[in-house]
Structure 1
Amino acid sequence: MNTYEKQRLENIKKNQEMLLTLGLKATDSTPNEMPSFSSKKREPMRKSLRIRGIKPTKVENPNNLPEDLYTIDYETSRKEKRVPVPYGEIVSLENGQESKDIVKYFKLVAKQFSISVPENNNDDSENKSVSKNSEMEEIKEEFSETSRIKTKLEIDENSTLSKIFKNMKIRHYEANIPITTQRIYSIAFHPNPDTDSILVCAGDKRGTLGFWRLHSSDYIVKDWESIVDGKKHIKTESNPDNKESPKSSKTKNNKIDSSEGHEPDLFSFYPHSETVSCINIPQESPNNVYTSGYDGTIRILDLSHPTSFNQILKLKDDPMITSMELQFYNGKHNSSHPLVWFTTTSGIAGFTDPREPNSKVHSHMFHDNRIGCISTNPKVQNILATASTDRTIRVWDVRHMLSPLDIENETESNPIELQNLDEGGSVTSAYFNPSGDQLATTSFNNIVSVWSFDKAQNKVVDKKFLNHNNRTGRWLSMFRSRWHPNPKFPSCFVVGNMNHSVDIYSGRSMEQISNLKDGSRIKTVPAVNIFHPHLAMIASGNASGKISIWS
């Protein structure tokens, strides 16, 4: 025992003697035993039957409610996903939820917008038009960049565009028309040059294709051609205040005036089981409505015989069609039927000729990632551009892909990549303008670019861009800058704005011409926007399936 331990024991003994002299009981120096704890049985954490994927055998009813108030139908509680229509099968208009009377009325509306072959006798055609309108009215009654010096051309064009889009606003009584039920992905105007009849359609996330026939009181029409020609006359009805007013219709309108509100002519059909990614009604063939969908199909509706959506393409291995483009190829088989180009999520692009047996598909791997847009050059038929999430825009020469259409039994060859343009962010769209000398692109690096395309060299030679917030996020359709499709119209494009408005820019100077907004009535982002092919009119769609017309 060492000295320290001896000293410790002596101190303990002295302390105990002191406690005894004081009449206190000395404490025991031995340590107490630790109490034993009985182990509790732990039960596993409860997981709900829904997470485990098990249907309940019995639903508790503690409050003794009637059975129909507390039982849950697990078979129908979730949104049912429509099964893709088998290849070769048509989708009838009657397959939707519209009543027979509404379908009958839509067929009359569709035939009004169908364009027949011109006849020599003009009087007969006028009589047919009058009888068609009267028939409709009878059935309708039953449903009581950087700063730089602008050139003179740019200054003049900006001035013209400002006059055209001046006082543009929503004229219809309800600012948001529910044309579909889910988020709108695509919109198209019918290219009818008649200002008395406007038809617009939109496709949504669940495969719905909605149509809306506008009343004459829902919009006004500016004579933009007179403004372009240097005339300041605005074509409207005469009124004492010399203000723009809704254009009167030649046909009788039994609905209530727009100032008091009326029920819009809306029709809904279901040509696709998934998202309608694109709608196209070509000016060269205005009777045909082409639609593409995420279900891997492309369908066509003939407005002159509106009975069903006929399938012209069905992809099996890569079923998600993200975009579609129509090309009226001036080759051996020149006709009113276009080549139908498409893109997919795997980076494949291709086309089909609907007149070929079994709709043969000519395709090639254009990108390694998803292709969101494809655009053919309207002036150079063998040139097209693709936009991808790999942050590039690529320009292609596809003459070798098209050669089998002109030369029989020739082996199909791959396209030639002419340029690979890096944009720095995922590119959502790339569209050639009607003249084929400019390419407008939209990307997630928050810029909108206009690339100058030299048709002689078949290459992009210049780039102008502007800053624009394109971060639409998950719940909005991606922004796409779209040109006015009329080559006689001053160069301009339209794109959505995150501040609940619509932007119009000059395609030549990149200057903002107008910012369309209606703060009191438009509370959402109009993400999808498109020009009317012949008029100074814009259709805007939002994430709620609603559409607005600016005129």
Structure 2
Amino acid sequence: MTSDFCCFQALPLPSRRFASSKMASKSQYELEREANIAKNRALFENLGLKQAVQSLGVSKSAKSSAKPVQPKRVKRERVEEVLPRRQSRRLLSKLNSDVEETSEERKLREEEEAKEEERRAEAQEKARMAKRPRHDTLNFKTLAETDQPQELSSLSITMETIPQTAHRRVGDPEAFVFKDDKKDERAVQEIREKVQNLKVVSRAKVVTERIYCVVYHPEVSKDIIFFGDKHGTLGIWDARAPPDEEDDDGDIAPENREGGKYWRLQLHWPATSKSSISSIKLDPIDTHNLYTSSYDCTIRSLSFVSGTSKEIYATDGVLISCIDLPPNGHEMWVSDVAGGATHLDLREDKSKARRYELSDQKIGCISVNPSRPNFLLTASNSRFLKVWDARKLNGMPVNLLDQAAQESSADDSTRSTLEFDAEIVNKYLDSKDGKGGFRGEWKHDKSASSAYWDPRGRQIISTSYDDTLRLWDIDSKLFGTKTAFPQLKPFSHVNHNCQTGRWVTILRAQWSPNPDVYPHFTVGNMRHSLDIYSGKGDLITQLSDPTMVSAVQAVTCSHPNIVERAASGNASGRCVLWAPESP
């Protein structure tokens, strides 16, 4: 009894107190956990798994699953310059006037404040007007960019050297129609020999924003190309003009220098994406005049003879997507994003236009048949390609409209665009008088982004978001009938990636406007090449140069008279001329 008591007393009191507090601090969960660990340890030892036994237990050096603490980033103290506090000049002068300002001084001060307020209001009004579309006639000086001086006299000299003639040539619908396939192959081979070795001979950043459209001037002595960009700017590029002597490019490598000369004219306002130039067309009977349509809801005519730009048509808030003219140059057809096609007679006042609702969705492209101008071609977001007889559309009587529209049309001074909605159009085309107005249609798998007649007015090329280029060949005899085409079915399907996305202009296959050669067309390629196909859908060549071209050449065109010429543009505003290398 004594020995046990002595042993008990030998235990230090502080250690006993610590042990009891430690046991008391353990929860029921921890006690059960330790029991499970002991049980598993015994089981693994019986199985001979020593490594597993060593990993059991509460290890003081166990790794944490939390991420290591990142060092704090010490914010650099911002040193702000202490500026004098802004004070109202009017209130300050009013306080001072009680002490030292005389009546004459107060009068002068008030006059000065009134003038300053007037100048401020005038500046605000100018800024507001600068953001609005301009509908008046403007000269080149106003159109030229203010932030970058341009030598407009050189533009005038360049255009003066070009004859002012008609340029739109129409092909024979029966030309290049061969029954023997070998003749087609020989014709294609002739073109291939001319275009397969085209190189990048000139390039320049003609405009500053994404290129939406392009047209090649028919002059054979020069390479003059017009580009329309996202912010309403028209770029005019003389691609092979010699550089000015004062240009200092000595520190730039030759392959990186800009080629030719270019000028920029701000045709449409404001200079934002609200004014994108959607289409450019040269006047078929005057090579010194061109037409541009824009998302600012206007169409303008630019004359290099008078040096002015004037508005020829404007919609009431409906965006214009495309324009086209017949070879006579006196008329124009306009498509819009609301599914309408508008007919303009350029010899009449712009208020005498007639608009027909031909689709329930955006019509992105309209094309006039060059050899048979009465036939129209439309491509829309509704997936349909459709052929129309314009004679029937323009023959639609005004009395089909409501009374208010008839009364406004009777008074030329107040007449606005005559609106024939879809119900009226369909009802008329189904009637005896309207028979033959609608000639045929074809539905694509996805949205049809473009469709164009070839220079002969016989073939059609369409581009669609379903990644397919389609070709049609319509027999000339069918145009002479008054009934719908029996089967508007494409004879060729070409697989082509058309998924341009948001930042690249929609791809549109464009016919070569040259009627003297075998029909062929150009189209951009998402792999940075410019592709040339024959009218039968055969790939002729792919033009590319990774050292000079590193972006999608989304917008393309061909010279109207020279086979060995092509031009393209990308989303940054850079333009490329493809031609044979200089000897």
TM category, shorter: 0.5 to 0.7
> Is residue 212 of structure 1 aligned with residue 237 of structure 2?
yes
Shift of 1:543: 0.2
Shift of 1:62: 3.2
> Is residue 325 of structure 1 aligned with residue 324 of structure 2?
yes
Structure 2: distance between partners of 1:217 and 1:168: 20
Structure 1: distance between partners of 2:294 and 2:325: 15
**Cα distance change, pair 159–358 in 1 and its aligned pair in 2 (3 A):** closer
Instruction: Give the structure 1 partner of residue 496 of structure 2.
Output: 468
Structure 2: distance between partners of 1:215 and 1:254: 17
What's the TM-score once normalised by structure 1's chain length? 0.67
Instruction: Give the structure 1 partner of residue 566 of structure 2.
Output: 538
**Match among 544, 562, 575 for residue 517 of structure 1:** 544
How many residue pairs get aligned? The number is: 404
Structure 1: distance between partners of 2:392 and 2:549: 48
**Cα distance change, pair 64–485 in 1 and its aligned pair in 2 (3 A):** same
Structure 1: distance between partners of 2:359 and 2:230: 25
**Letter of the structure 1 residue corresponding to residue 145 of structure 2:** Q
Secondary structure of the structure 2 residue equivalent to 1:163: helix
Structure 1: distance between partners of 2:475 and 2:266: 42
C-alpha contact (below 8 Å) 1:178/1:547 kept by paired residues: yes
Shift of 1:86: 4.3
**Letter of the structure 2 residue corresponding to residue 286 of structure 1:** T
Instruction: Give the structure 1 partner of residue 36 of structure 2.
Output: none
Structure 1: distance between partners of 2:333 and 2:473: 23
Structure 2: distance between partners of 1:423 and 1:300: 34
Structure 2: distance between partners of 1:484 and 1:379: 15
Instruction: Give the structure 1 partner of residue 183 of structure 2.
Output: 153
Instruction: Give the structure 1 partner of residue 458 of structure 2.
Output: 437
Shift of 1:367: 0.7
Runs of 5+ unmatched residues, structure 2: 1-19, 25-76, 84-122, 167-178, 270-274, 398-408, 411-417, 430-436, 480-484
> Is residue 504 of structure 1 aligned with residue 532 of structure 2?
yes
C-alpha contact (below 8 Å) 2:377/2:388 kept by paired residues: yes
**Cα distance change, pair 426–65 in 1 and its aligned pair in 2 (3 A):** farther
Instruction: Give the structure 1 partner of residue 198 of structure 2.
Output: 168
Structure 1: distance between partners of 2:129 and 2:530: 33
Cα shift readout 1:339-392 (whole Å, capped 9, x = no counterpart): 111111110111211220244211100111001100111122211110001111
Shift of 1:153: 2.1
Runs of 5+ unmatched residues, structure 1: 1-22, 28-60, 68-74, 118-148, 219-251, 330-336
C-alpha contact (below 8 Å) 1:297/1:311 kept by paired residues: yes
Structure 1: distance between partners of 2:224 and 2:464: 30
C-alpha contact (below 8 Å) 1:113/1:303 kept by paired residues: no
Structure 1: distance between partners of 2:212 and 2:380: 17
C-alpha contact (below 8 Å) 2:284/2:327 kept by paired residues: no
> Is residue 375 of structure 1 aligned with residue 367 of structure 2?
yes
Shift of 1:101: 5.9
* Correspondence list, 1:329-408, <5 A: 329=328, 337-403=329-395
Shift of 1:432: 0.3
Instruction: Give the structure 2 partner of residue 489 of structure 1.
Output: 517
C-alpha contact (below 8 Å) 2:200/2:577 kept by paired residues: yes
Structure 1: distance between partners of 2:261 and 2:569: 17
Structure 2: distance between partners of 1:116 and 1:452: 31
C-alpha contact (below 8 Å) 1:191/1:534 kept by paired residues: yes
**Letter of the structure 1 residue corresponding to residue 293 of structure 2:** S
**Match among 81, 85, 92 for residue 133 of structure 2:** 85
Instruction: Give the structure 1 partner of residue 145 of structure 2.
Output: 97
Shift of 1:302: 1.3
Instruction: Give the structure 2 partner of residue 110 of structure 1.
Output: 159
Structure 1: distance between partners of 2:368 and 2:467: 24
Structure 2: distance between partners of 1:362 and 1:340: 11
What's the TM-score once normalised by structure 2's chain length? 0.63
**Cα distance change, pair 365–66 in 1 and its aligned pair in 2 (3 A):** farther
**Cα distance change, pair 404–191 in 1 and its aligned pair in 2 (3 A):** farther
Instruction: Give the structure 2 partner of residue 309 of structure 1.
Output: 309
**Letter of the structure 2 residue corresponding to residue 115 of structure 1:** Q
Secondary structure of the structure 2 residue equivalent to 1:456: helix
**Letter of the structure 2 residue corresponding to residue 314 of structure 1:** A
Shift of 1:217: 7.0
C-alpha contact (below 8 Å) 1:312/1:359 kept by paired residues: no
> Is residue 477 of structure 1 aligned with residue 476 of structure 2?
no
Instruction: Give the structure 1 partner of residue 263 of structure 2.
Output: 267
